[in-house]
Every structure is written in structure tokens, then in C-alpha cells.
Structure 1
Amino acid sequence: MEQPNTQLTEEDIERFLSLNPRFFHGREKLLRSMRIPHVSGKAVSLLERQNALLREDIAELNQRLETLISHAHENDRLFNRLRSLVLELMVVSSLPQLAEQLHLHLTRHFNVDEVRLLLSTPGTTHAPWIAPLPEAETLGTHNDLLSQSKAVCGTFDQPLTQLLLGPDTQSQSLAMASIHYDQCYGLLVLGSTQKDYFRNSMDTLFLTYLSDVTARVLAHLSNQ
């Protein structure tokens, strides 16, 4: 048995719209997506050009809005993970516990591969993930890291990476934040085996905040 032809023709659509003149009421989204040329001969009318520009502006604004919403969601997730870490740091009672919590949370919840706390305080080499801060002259052209007021990220030469994270490091990109407490100072160094994970263009607000919290905890521990 031959199947009836159910494909709509332009005449069918025209007839439907003529019988339903209020069809587009409440369907603004559909109207905005439609392309309705304004008859003006061979030239493109000003009205049609204006409509095209408005559609482009709307599409660009929608894309920006989606990007902002995506960033807001990611910042919410980052804030919640950082909040959990800060709460754990507030109750540590020793330097090894501090280093352990930093390593645990940063590697487990922030996709960091290596964590090292470099401190100028003597006698801190006995704990995992803690090492003496290199002398300024060994840092070469990077001896201003300790004076930076905000964290820095990016790829650095291999000798510096090994100096900060050890000779066996596999990290290809680093994030570093200076720490100042009492009369001491140091660096919080995070490493990733991905070369583009820590980029010099990325926002460092959360890492700078974490270094400030770490400094407060260190000051408290040193006064115990």
C-alpha cells in the first residue's frame, strides 16, 4: 500500500499561517531565529542589515553569558574545595601536619602532581614535602620570586624546576606563591606534569589567598 506523502509544502505552511495569524505570539525565540528579507530590489535594505547586526550581537552576548556562567560554576567549585582545605589548615598542630594537608588536598582535589613547601626556617628538612629555601643567588634571574606580592605561574627552565621540587621531579609547569611570616619567609610550589596546566595568563587569586593562609598558620606554629 502506497504511503501518503506527509511532507509539508510552502503552500501548506502559508495556508496554516493564514488560518492562524496569532501563531507567532509567545514564540519570540522562534522569531529571532528567522530570516525574513525586506524587499528592496537587488540592494540589501537598511532594515534587513540592522536585523542581521542585532542577531549577531544577540548571539555574541549569549556566548559571553554562557562563558560567564561556566566560569562562575568553576569558581564555586574551586571556592568550596579551597574552603575545605583552609578549614583543615586551621586545626593543624605541627609543621609536618601542615605540609601533609597541603599535599593531600592539592594533589587530590586540585589536580596538582607535586607540592613543596620551601622555608627559610632551620630544621625543617625532616618532614615530607618540606625543604630548605634555596639561597637567593642560586635562584639566578628568578631571585625576585620571594618579593612577588601575587602568585606566578608558567613554565620555567629545568634547573630551576629541579632546584625547587628536587632532582627527580617530573613537573613541566609550576605555580609559586611567596610566604612571609614573623621574620621568616618561603615559597609554596605546585608542580604539574602537564606543560600547559599552569599558564602565566591564569588567575592566581586563589593561590595567593592560600599562601596568605599558610603564612598565618606558620606564624601560629612558630609561636607555640
Structure 2
Amino acid sequence: MSPQSERTTDYSEMEQVVIDFLNKNPNFFERNPDILCKLRLPHTSGEAVSLIERQVTALREQGEQNRRKLDEFVAIARENELLNDRLHHLTVKLIECCDFDEVINTLQDLLHDDFRAEAVELHLYSTSEADAQTNPDLDGFREFLNSNKPRCGRFPTKQLKYLFGPQADDIASTALIPISGESLLGILAIGSHSEHRFHPGMGTDYLIRLGEIVSKTLEVVSEPGL
């Protein structure tokens, strides 16, 4: 090893010793203020500033970051509260429904108005239809139905055509919600013109609750033909 390499290694080891010491003794500079006053750190502007000034600046920046995070948390909390209110309103309205047509009309109206959905479609199948492996309507949806979990994002054109019909060309993102009743299965599809509205990484808790509410409601009404 060359003398230069040895000096570099020794310096790195010494630097780590200093770091470990300061971590274990955070009040070192309080006991030795004269050393603190002598320390100077380069500033991004090229001027030297004292360590205290640098610390104050860092604390201000950290405080601003914390404030932004707090604002984000507050916004999320408000959005969640709003979603809960909308789900409660939807639940009450669905409870008041007496037949299948009322359920469909209520879903269409409230999901359009309260949840700002551009397209809402409900596809239902009897259990025998859902179990039939030759049912072409369910091609591409069997894994989704078997998982019994909401799925969000962008879907192939063929699936969008089946879900939304003539509206498919305008749908940029979709939320699929499984419907599971005692004698039927189904897909509640909510479409948006914005590609950012529904995406794979979004939370699905409220979609799960929505699916449960619709499923329970459909258990007490009868669909024509089933």
C-alpha cells in the first residue's frame, strides 16, 4: 500500500471515530461552544457560514418539509372523510330501494353525482353462467372474479368494449369491483376520462366497501330473468 493510500485509510478511520463520538455525545458542542464558533461550513452560494447558521437553515428546511407532509396528511384525511360520507349516503339510498331497477338507477345517479364517475355499468351473472367455462363474456375477467378483489387501471380495448359499450373509447382508467351475492356474481365497472383517476397503486378500501354494500343490496332484490 502506498503512503498516500495509508493516509487516506487513516483519515477515513479517524473521520468515522469522530462521527461515532459525536453521535454518542450530541451535547459535545454545548460543553465546548468555543469550538462550535470556530467551525465554518461552505454555503451553496460560495460564502462560508457558521455551523449554527447552517443548522438553523437545515431546521427551517426540515420544518417546511414537515409542514408539506402535514398538509398532505390533512388533505388525505379530509378526502377519506368525504368518501365515508358519500358511502354512507349511498348505503342509505340503497337500503330504501325496493327492486332491482331502483338499485341500478340509484347506483347510476349517485356514482355519477357523488363520486364523479363518467361511466357506470353493472354486469351480473347467475352462478351457473359464471361457472360455465364457455361463456365468452367472462373471458379476461375470470381471474378478477376469482380473486374477489377490486382492480384499478387501464384495461384492453376488448374488455372496455364489453364493460362500457359505446362509451369505451372515452374511458382512460377504470375501477372494477367484484359483486358477490348468494345466487349471482357480477362486475361493477366505474370508468373515468382521466388516466390518473384509477391506477393500480391506489387504495381500494372504499371500493371493497362499495362492493360489499352493492352485493348485500342485490341479495334482497331480484333481477329480472334470474
Q: TM-score, normalised by structure 2?
A: 0.69
Query: Structure 2: where are the runs of 5+ without partners?
Result: 1-35, 42-48, 128-132
Contact 1:153-1:176 at 8 Å conserved across structures: yes
Whether the aligned pair in 2 keeps the contact of 1:177 and 1:208 (CA below 8 Å) is yes
What is the distance in 2 between the residues matched to 1:181 and 1:62? 46
For 2:126, what is the secondary structure of its paired residue? Answer: coil
**Who is 1:83 aligned against?**
88
Contact 1:139 1:160 in 2 (8 A): no
The separation in 1 between residues aligned to 2:99 and 2:125, in whole angstroms, is: 16
Deviation, 1:72, is 1.3
Q: For 2:91 and 2:206, locate their aligned partners in 1 and report how far apart those are by CA, in whole Å.
A: 11
Secondary structure (helix, strand or coil) at the match of 1:221 reads coil
CA contact (8 A) 1:147 1:178 kept: no
The reply on whether 1:221 has 2:221 as its aligned counterpart is yes
How big is each residue's C-alpha offset from its partner over 1:159-194, in whole Å with a ceiling of 9 and x where there is no partner?
110111224433221111101111321111111122
Residue 153 of structure 1 contacts residue 198 of structure 1 at CA under 8 Å; is this kept in 2?
Answer: yes
Q: 3-state SS of the aligned residue for 1:195?
A: coil
In the alignment, which residue of structure 2 is the partner of 1:108? 113
Describe the SS at the equivalent of 1:98: helix
Gaps of 5+ in 1: 1-37, 123-133
The answer (yes or no) to whether the contact 2:40–2:50 under 8 Å persists in 1 is no
Displacement of 1:135: 6.4
Partner of 1:148: 147
CA distance in 2, matches of 1:68, 1:168: 35
* C-alpha distance after superposition, 1:136-171 (max 9, x if no partner): 655444421112343111111111101112244332
More helix per residue: 2
- How far the C-alpha of 1:94 sits from its partner, in A, is 0.7
Q: Which residue of 2 aligns with 1:158?
A: 157
The answer to whether the 8 A contact 2:40-2:51 is kept is no
Aligned equivalent of 2:202: 202
Matched, 1:180 2:180: yes
How has the CA–CA distance of structure 1 residues 52 and 136 changed in structure 2, closer, same or farther, with 3 Å as cutoff?
A: farther
TM-score with structure 1 setting the length: 0.70
- What is the deviation of 1:56? 1.9
Give a deviation string over 1:72-110, Cα, whole Å, max 9, x none. Answer: 112222221221111000111111110100000001111
Q: Is the 8 A contact 1:181 1:215 kept in 2?
A: yes
- Secondary structure in structure 2 of the residue aligned to 1:166: helix
User: C-alpha distance in 1, partners of 2:178/2:134?
Assistant: 14
